[in-house]
Structure 1
Amino acid sequence: MKRIVVLYVILALAVSCGGRGTAKRAAAAPAAPQAPVSFREPAEYTYRVKAVYPHDTGAYTQGLFWLDGYLYEGTGQNGRSELRRVEPATGRVLQRVGLERKYFGEGIAYLGGKIYQLTWVAGRAFVYDAEDFRPLRSFVYDGEGWGLTTDGEYLYMSDGSDKIYVRDAENFGVVRTLQVTAKGRPVDMLNELEWIEGRIWANLYLYDQVVVIDPQTGEVTGVVDFEGLQEPSDRTPETDVFNGIAYDAASGDIYVTGKNWNKLYKVEIFEKEKGEE
């Protein structure tokens, strides 16, 4: 059974509405029946592989984005965390800067000539010059850092919960907080993020799924099922979970990979037909 079913079993439970009025109010007049709350059913999407490229199996992919023909990748693990510029066709690392061993690198995003990189539990975000990877400054924040993306004005950050924090790029302060829901139920384990055509795409940690989120309401409007993307023959004991989404706005191409995967995939996304599993 596809893992997309797991998401729906958890989230697509019936939601009861209304509550008990006070005894005084009930005695005065019978309560008018309330209309049931209507929750939108997320669209179901699948994929087609358009091209396959090499990916460094030593890269524990935490963040990924596309800029001017190159992939930018943030990697994790203490002592192995880096920010990289990668040649997509070959997987060759063209530029890199490492983090101190005490930092476990997480999501990355580009905004205004700068690259922002989160750390997992250290509560610190680093800012680099996008051209030469020169460190510019850092910010301190509460909680964990997981995924990071941008709408071109603000940064959007996940922490593994059902929350996405909209942050000011100048001071990293929280502007507002989104609770992500599907069918009225919270969706947690939100990991790596990407902004695609006005929506936030988020990896669900430990699942081969991406949820598509309305950035105004937090509602999940779609679920992309990536089960079967990686061939069993490509897996090794070091291979970890599906993670990493990059979008080339100029071409409309989407690239995905995983932690310590040996391949990067260019994919086409399309809606499933009714009844398709």
Structure 2
Amino acid sequence: MAVAVLVSLLGAAACGGSEEPGPPRWRVEVIGSSPHDPGAFTQGLEVVDGVRYESTGMWGVSSARAADQATGAETARVDLPDPMFGEGMTRAGAIVWQLTWKDEVAIARDPVTLAETGRTRYEGEGWGLCAQPQRLVMSDGTPTLTFRDPVTFAKTGSVTLTGYRDPKPNELDCAPDGTVYANNYPSDEILRIDPDTGQVLAVIEAGGLLSRGERAGTDVLNGIAHLPGTDRFLLTGKYWPRLFEVRFVPK
């Protein structure tokens, strides 16, 4: 035992000491839930001015959707032309931007009808998207977040995530306090990020929302939407039958 302890100490010294502690762990407190379309391969989720916007993926069935947040009643839906694969979506003022996965096209939409009003191109893959007051934040399947102009979609900067092992931000939510929440693909973790520095501030453990029976036929957790004026968020996933209202609580 003494020899083992000595070897352990020597190994730690050789490596420069013990590993740095990771970000604090938070948990999810469920407030309630409501039905969600189990046929929706959810790629983007957001609530703005009482409207719940949702983008769905998969070839031939991708869509942009809008619903009344209070009642859940759908108010608009537009299908993407095949073979476009829908990804993240966010509202920035008078524009709803929707990403595509490998098509390298961002679609501008009317915030009421979701009718297409324009297109622009970008390089690489499109994953998640959210809007801050002066910029858009976009993920692409790598640890780097890209900033874009909310009107032209031109790239204005980027930041690489730090402080956490192998982050892979997927769907994004820009919270009112300036932080960004990201589904960490393909896990049940949500990362709370400082977008100015790239630092991962907390890791939220969001597993176990669906029962074992409900998980059959579903895909990963994907979809975060802050509920304006509250400390609550909506969470769902790809092909999930339920939409959860939650709080993120430090342990």
TM-score with structure 2 setting the length: 0.88
- Give the counterpart letter for 1:262 in structure 2: P
Secondary structure in 2 matching 1:182: coil
Counterpart in the other structure of 1:3: none
Counterpart in the other structure of 1:85: 66
Are residue 207 (structure 1) and residue 187 (structure 2) matched?
yes
Q: Distance in 1 between matches of 2:249 and 2:58?
A: 34
Gaps of 5+ in 2: 1-11
Are residue 270 (structure 1) and residue 232 (structure 2) matched?
no
Q: Distance in 2 between matches of 1:91 and 1:150?
A: 23
Q: Name the larger-Rg structure.
A: 1
Are residue 59 (structure 1) and residue 40 (structure 2) matched?
yes
Which stretch shifts more, 254-263 or 168-177?
168-177
Indicate conservation of the 8 Å contact 1:53/1:90, yes or no: no
Which stretch shifts more, 91-100 or 135-144?
91-100
- Give the counterpart letter for 1:45 in structure 2: W
Q: Distance in 1 between matches of 2:187 and 2:27?
A: 14
Counterpart in the other structure of 1:257: 236
Q: Percent identity of the aligned residues?
A: 37
Indicate conservation of the 8 Å contact 2:48/2:228, yes or no: no
Counterpart in the other structure of 1:248: 227
Are residue 195 (structure 1) and residue 159 (structure 2) matched?
no
Q: Distance in 2 between matches of 1:233 and 1:178?
A: 39
- Give the counterpart letter for 2:209 in structure 1: L
Are residue 70 (structure 1) and residue 55 (structure 2) matched?
no
Distance 1:150 1:194, change over 3 A: same
Gaps of 5+ in 1: 1-12, 18-35, 273-277
Are residue 231 (structure 1) and residue 231 (structure 2) matched?
no
TM-score with structure 1 setting the length: 0.80
2:127 corresponds to which of 146, 162, 181: 146
Secondary structure in 1 matching 2:98: strand
Indicate conservation of the 8 Å contact 2:45/2:52, yes or no: yes
User: What's the CA shift string for 1:77-135, capped at 9, x where partnerless?
Assistant: 01111110124466443210111011000000110111000000000000011022121
Q: Offset at 1:224?
A: 0.4
Secondary structure in 2 matching 1:181: coil
Total equivalences in the alignment: 237
Q: Offset at 1:46?
A: 0.1
Counterpart in the other structure of 1:156: 137
Counterpart in the other structure of 2:198: 218
Q: Distance in 2 between matches of 1:91 and 1:59?
A: 14
Indicate conservation of the 8 Å contact 1:53/1:88, yes or no: no
Counterpart in the other structure of 1:20: none
Which stretch shifts more, 172-181 or 255-264?
172-181
User: What's the CA shift string for 1:30-68, capped at 9, x where partnerless?
Assistant: xxxxxx9x9774121001110110000011000000012
Secondary structure in 2 matching 1:160: coil
Q: Offset at 1:161?
A: 0.3
